[in-house]
Amino acid sequence: MRVKKTFNESEEIVVSKKEIRGFILGCMEKIDCDAEHAQQLADILVTSDYRGHYSHGIQRLHVYVNDIASGACAGTGTPKVVKEKGATAWVDGANLLGPVVGNFCMKLAVKKAREFGIGWVVARKSNHFGITGWYAMHAMSQGMVGMAFTNTSPCVFPTRSSQKSLGSNPICMAAPATNGDNFFLDMASTTVAYGKIEVAEKRGATMIPSGWGADAGGVETHDPKVVLGGGGLQPLGGQEATGGYKGTGLCMMVEILCGIMAGSAFGKNIRQWQTTDQMADLGQCFVAIDPECFAPGFAGRLQTFLDDTRDLSPLDEEEPVLVAGDPERGHMAMCDELEGIVYKKSQVVHLVKLANDLDIPMFRAKRLNDVLACESDSD
Ligand SMILES: NC(=O)c1ccc[n+]([C@@H]2O[C@H](COP(=O)([O-])OP(=O)(O)OC[C@H]3O[C@@H](n4cnc5c(N)ncnc54)[C@H](O)[C@@H]3O)[C@@H](O)[C@H]2O)c1
């Protein structure tokens, strides 16, 4: 049973995707969010947890709720195309939920890629859009290579800086191979996403690895509480000596494709994370490319490349060589076996307050040990 490798504690619970989805929809209905927008948010939060990216799943629900309840983000409306030329479009996100803006833009990019071979869409006035992979996944499901990027609130110390001025600005590229296999790189431009440190702290970690975070003055720390209590993230690569300047460059590259190109807020001027006194005005970028515009047989060659990589002799027989997307595939297979998503109770306990505040029932969960016991009975 795959799950035993990852979880073996009695504090773990299993929640069906249907329960989580219902909880999200219940919360969003209470704050008068457009039902169709709520569905789009639920899709991405559930998918995030299902893929194992707990940093951007239901643990972030209260942030979206606060944004809409406070009026900092709009719960109704439609994104609008401001300017369009051939394969490109510039979109005004109308301050709607990030997933609503992102889905609109990526669908438009795919439509353009069908016509022109490529579609490149940038949006201003958007909000936090969750896992970047969601949007690239849509392009990939249409046979395209998909890429997506967003800027975020400043939480990163650029190399040599004692001040935060960059976001964790994620990058995703998803490319279809054969028989449903794919390359799926979905990553922050920092060593880890900020939410991963939130999750680590909620799960009881007192130490984080080198290269992840820094204290309020930009000095490396291994204490998650110091990072979350006013500190920040290190760019991908960590310190200068280990190549952190490349992460700084990636954060800036994403900002150029997003905030600078879209005319939205950018860099240190984006509102602070989880504040609601002004709109986030995030910039985002969505690209779809039809690989068949180039050498025929892209999917087959990519499959050979993925297989060649996975088949490399590993350093440790217990740890096979993976390609981007494989860890998430393993996590989804585990969830499928369990018929639900596994959480440590401490990861979701803050949602009890949200349920109470909004006066909706908390989702129902099973104890992981009970689920495993049932499975071994039926083996
Ligand atoms: N919306 C936002 O503001 C925002 C900001 C930052 C990150 N994010 C999201 O957070 C999520 C987590 O980001 P992260 O950087 O912490 O992810 P991560 O470090 O867990 O994974 C990054 C990538 O590395 C791949 N990977 C992991 N282990 C591997 C291995 N051993 N071999 C080969 N490939 C491997 C994964 O498949 C993934 O594509 C992403 O979905 C990202 O889009 C969103």
- pLDDT tens for residues 14-28? 999 999 999 999 999
Predicted local confidence at residue 370, as pLDDT: 80
Q: Whose CA is nearest to atom 44 of ligand 1?
A: 131
Q: Which residues contact 65 (CB under 8 A, 6 or more apart)?
A: 27, 28, 31, 354, 358
Q: DSSP characters for 76-145?
A: S---EEEEEETTEEEEE-TTB-HHHHHHHHHHHHHHHHHHHSEEEEEEEEE-----THHHHHHHHHTTSE
For residue 377, what pLDDT is reported? 62
Residues with CB under 6 A from ligand 1: 53, 55-56, 128-133, 150, 152, 168, 170, 172, 184-188, 192-193, 196, 322-325, 327-328
What pLDDT does residue 230 have? Answer: 95
Give me the count of residues in the chain: 379
Asked whether the beta carbons of 73 and 250 are under 8 A apart, the reply is: no
Alpha-carbon distance of 20 to 342, in angstroms, equals: 12
Tell me how far apart the alpha carbons of residues 252 and 103 are, in angstroms, rounded to a whole number: 24
Q: Is the pLDDT of residue 221 over 70?
A: yes
Closest CA to 60 of 174, 202, 263: 202
Strand partners, 12: 344
End-to-end CA distance of the chain: 10
User: Which amino acid is located at 16 in the chain?
Assistant: S
pLDDT higher than 80, residue 304:
yes
**Residue whose CA lies nearest to ligand 1 atom number 39:** 185
CA of 324 to the centre of ligand 1 (A): 9
pLDDT of 2 above 70? no
Pocket test for ligand 1, best of 187, 282, 331 (most atoms within 8 A of CB): 187
Q: What DSSP designation does 166 have?
A: B
Is residue 6 scored above 70 in pLDDT? Answer: no
User: 188 alpha carbon to ligand 1 midpoint, in Å?
Assistant: 6
Strand 118-126 relative to strand 88-92, pairing = parallel
Query: What's the pLDDT tens digit per position in 58-94?
Result: 999 999 999 999 999 999 999 999 999 999 999 999 9
With CA atoms as reference, report the closest residue to 244 among 313, 185, 166. 166
CB 23 within 8 A of CB 29: no
Query: In the predicted model, is pLDDT for residue 337 greater than 90?
Result: yes
Q: Which of 235, 279, 256 is nearest to 98 (CA)?
A: 279
Predicted confidence (pLDDT) per residue in 90-119, tens digit: 999 999 999 999 999 999 999 999 999 999
Q: Is the pLDDT of residue 374 over 80?
A: no
DSSP E strands, 198-244: 213-214, 220-221, 232-233
Ramachandran quadrant class, 333 (left: phi over 0; alpha: psi -120 to 50; beta: rest):
alpha
pLDDT tens, 168-204? 999 999 999 999 999 999 999 999 999 999 989 988 9
- Cα of 199 vs centre of ligand 1, distance in Å, is 14
- Long-range pairs of 30-37 with CB within 8 A, sequence gap ≥ 24: 30/358, 30/359, 30/360, 31/65, 31/68, 31/69, 31/75, 31/358, 32/68, 32/75, 33/68, 33/75, 33/76, 33/97, 34/75, 34/76, 34/77, 37/75, 37/76, 37/96, 37/97, 37/99, 37/100
What is the pLDDT at residue 1?
Answer: 45
Give the pLDDT band of residue 4 (cuts 50, 70, 90). very low
Among the listed residues 1, 48, 4, 14, the one whose alpha carbon sits nearest the alpha carbon of residue 371:
14
Signed CA dihedral, 306, 307, 312, 314: sign only: positive
**132 alpha carbon – ligand 1 mean position (Å):** 9
Ligand 1 atom nearest the C-alpha of 326 is 37
Helix (H, G, I), strand (E, B) or coil at 295: coil
> Which residues 6+ apart lie within 8 Å of 42 measured at CB?
20, 21, 24, 25, 28
Quote the ligand 1 centre to 203 CA distance (angstroms).
19
Nearest alpha carbon to residue 211 among 181, 243, 186: 243
Looking at residues 263-274, what average pLDDT do you find?
A: 96
